[in-house]
Amino acid sequence: MRYLLITLSIVSFIFSEDSTDKDSEFKNHNLSVGILDDKTGISIIGYTYNVKKNQMNEYFFGVGTMALAFTGTIGWKHYLYKELKTSIYSVLSEQIVAHMGFSGYMSTISLSLEHKLKWGTIKAGYFATFIIRTDENKEEFGAFPFVGLSFDF
């Protein structure tokens, strides 16, 4: 029930705030490659689509994969400090995880640093997880570092 409320809250934020003009420099698609990811969790390759974006917030849906693990995600990225090239931000997300030998729901929160380059963005940080495993009916906590490259298009 708690996860349903969190998901509904994120969806209500998506449709309640004003977004930026369609003619702005913001791009809706994002491809991320690296060791784990702040938006798609346990993935090496992740894709997210921003359904709403403004100067300090992004609301997204996405998918990710790591060998035999797959994630589906919905979340919110909020910039805590934003400059032209280097920014600090956090991500809150809810994920569904399917893996050989593991399945469940995962809530994540991350604190990240990104640096924009001409051709992409380097990002690094830590994300903490709370996992409800549906295959073993148990709950787990964890924290993981991540690093990757992100490409907007």
- Using an 8 Å Cβ cutoff, are 139 and 113 in contact? no
With cut-offs at 50, 70 and 90, classify the pLDDT of residue 23: very low
Residues 6+ apart with CB under 8 A from 143: 126, 127, 128, 129
Residue 30 to residue 62: CA distance in whole angstroms = 9
Digit-coded pLDDT (tens) for 48-102: 999 998 989 999 999 999 888 899 999 999 999 999 899 999 999 999 999 887 8
Residue 21 has pLDDT above 50, yes or no: no
Q: What is the DSSP string of 110-146?
A: EEEEEEE-SS-EEEEEEEEEEEEETTTTEEEEEEEEE
pTM here is 0.82
Domain ranges of the chain: 2-12+51-152
